Chain A
Amino acid sequence: MNSWLEKQRSIIDFTIASLLRRKGRNLGLLVVYTAIIFLLASVMLFSHSVKREAQVVLAGSPEVIVQRMVAGRHDLISQDYAEKLKGVRGARNVTPRLWGYYFDPTVSANYTVMVPDDRTIAPKNIVVGEGIARARGAGIGDVLAFRGYDGTLFSFSIAEVLASDSELVSADLMLVSEEDYRSFFGIPDGLFTDIVMTVRNQREVRTVAQKIATALPDTRPILREEILRTYDSLFDWREGMMLVLLAGSVLAFSIFAWEKASGLSAEEKREIGILKAVGWETSDVIRMKFWEGGLVSMFAFLLGYLLAYLHVFHMSAGLFETVLKGWAVLYPDFSPTPFIDGFQVVTLFFFTVFPYTVATIVPIWRAAIIDPDAVMRS
């Protein structure tokens, strides 16, 4: 056992010395390799963490939401619909809601304006999310002025700023009273944005949704489980720009790594020839190359993953901010909760470490079985 270990250590000594002889080339490879793993691991850790957080946080979202559709678009729904929904067997706590969007030209940002059901907001007062407070540079007691649907100027006093640790769900929220909401957007009494409700028996949610769709054919029921599934496929790796960008860089790296690993330089061939001439066996040469590929890819994996971990969970995924922000002015200032999927990490390991290691061994096997004299002479 000891002699086997000593032999491996000697091969590793030789391998590292050989790598150091081509320092620039191998260091370049390590940096690119690490950068690719960093990028892949960052996307993986970030998207998984946001997905899991969504699952936990949105578990409290409404059980069933009923929207009215007109010509394929979401439209206002009347109080009559709420009365009809109360008549559906199994339906409970039917509550019409008022919410919508407001584009604030002062900071070019979209706000989500809501009338809360759980709290009473005094007329001419608002409760805002931390994102709005930051964008407008305002705090409790400050007055914000917005133009209503007919151009009338409305002044609201900030009564409260929602806690900053809830920014992921509340950064762009502006809570107003029902009276202010209706006069601000010009929505007459008896009309609402949508209706939320709960279902008495959890196992009957889908049945109740079907009953609603039959009783009110111009409505669309949205279930909580559908909301959760929406976030389960968030940043789906199979779609979107993320894949295009990642596929491009992974392909570029694959070509680079394949070229480096499989195309033996004349110097490397000469080295193999000399090793064989001084008594190395073919298996030793292959072992040396295995260590070369294994060490480079293991280092790249560990470095890339650890940097990605620090980036996502200790630096709030700062590099992604510009990508995720798009044209949005309001972006929640949040740190992802460190949810890690071990299976994803193992998959990343296998898909990055193994191909490179194998790619280094195959060509060396071809070179190692040829005559050392021929290699050195060529």
Chain B
Amino acid sequence: MVRYSTTMLTLLAVGGLAFAASFADARQGRENMHETLLRKQKLVGELGLTDLCLFTEARYTRHLSQADLHTPFQDHPMSLDHFPSGSLVSPPNVVRGYE
């Protein structure tokens, strides 16, 4: 019968190899996506885009970098930020006056 330690150390070695392979796979993935990234960069340059299209529900999360202090309170002065994405991303430092 195979010793428990042999099985365990083999499993750990396999896990370690898979861990190392994930870095190699990531490197390959980056190489494969290099052209796509350049295409995206070109489109951004051509159209003058400023933000990622991650949250389209509210204009201050769609264009994070273009938002002003009032955009989350767009409905009325006491209106609280009610879009779910507003709780995932923080306002840019520039808007918060950190810079």
Residue numbers of A with Cβ under 8 A of B are 9-10, 12-13, 16-17, 50, 53-54, 56-62, 65, 67, 69, 72-74, 97, 101, 109-110, 112, 114, 116-119, 129, 131, 162-163, 165-173, 175, 194, 196, 220, 222, 226-227, 229-231, 233-236, 239-242, 295, 298-299, 302-303, 305-306, 309, 313, 323-324, 326-332, 337-340, 342
Flag if A60 contacts B53 (CB, 8 Å).
no
Which listed residue (A12, A112, A329) contacts B62, Cβ 8 A?
A: A112
Interface membership of chain B positions 1-27, coded 1 if the CB is closer than 8 angstroms to chain A and 0 otherwise: 001111011011001101100110111
Flag if A339 contacts B22 (CB, 8 Å).
no
Residues of B within 8 A of A73 (CB): 68, 70-71
The CA of A114 and the CA of B46, in the complex, are separated in Å by 12
Given A61-B48, A165-B36, A241-B87, A309 contacting B66 (CB threshold 8 A): no
| B-side interface mostly | helix
Flag if A13 contacts B4 (CB, 8 Å).
yes
Flag if B8 contacts A12 (CB, 8 Å).
yes
Flag if A59 contacts B41 (CB, 8 Å).
yes
The CA of A12 and the CA of B9, in the complex, are separated in Å by 9
Interface size class of B (residues with CB under 8 A): 35 or more
Flag if B65 contacts A168 (CB, 8 Å).
no
Flag if B89 contacts A326 (CB, 8 Å).
no
Given A170-B53, A196-B48, A326 contacting B85 (CB threshold 8 A): yes
Given A97-B48, A328-B55, A240 contacting B88 (CB threshold 8 A): yes
Residues of B within 8 A of A60 (CB): 41-42, 44-45
Which parts of B47-76 form the interface with A (CB within 8 Å)?
Answer: 47-59, 62-66, 68-71
Which listed residue (A12, A114, A229, A339) contacts B30, Cβ 8 A?
A: A339
Residues of B within 8 A of A162 (CB): 43
What is the CB-to-nearest-CB distance from B4 to chain A, in angstroms, rounded to a whole number?
Answer: 4
Residues of A within 8 A of B16 (CB): 302
Q: Which single residue of chain B is at the shortest CB-CB distance from A323?
A: B88
Residues of B within 8 A of A16 (CB): 4-5, 8
Residues of B within 8 A of A241 (CB): 87-88
Residues of B within 8 A of A220 (CB): 68
What is the CB-to-nearest-CB distance from A175 to chain B, in angstroms, rounded to a whole number?
Answer: 8
Flag if B94 contacts A226 (CB, 8 Å).
yes
Of listed B4, B16, B40, B59, residue having the most chain A CB within 10 A:
B40
Flag if A12 contacts B50 (CB, 8 Å).
no
Flag if B83 contacts A326 (CB, 8 Å).
yes
Flag if A168 contacts B68 (CB, 8 Å).
no
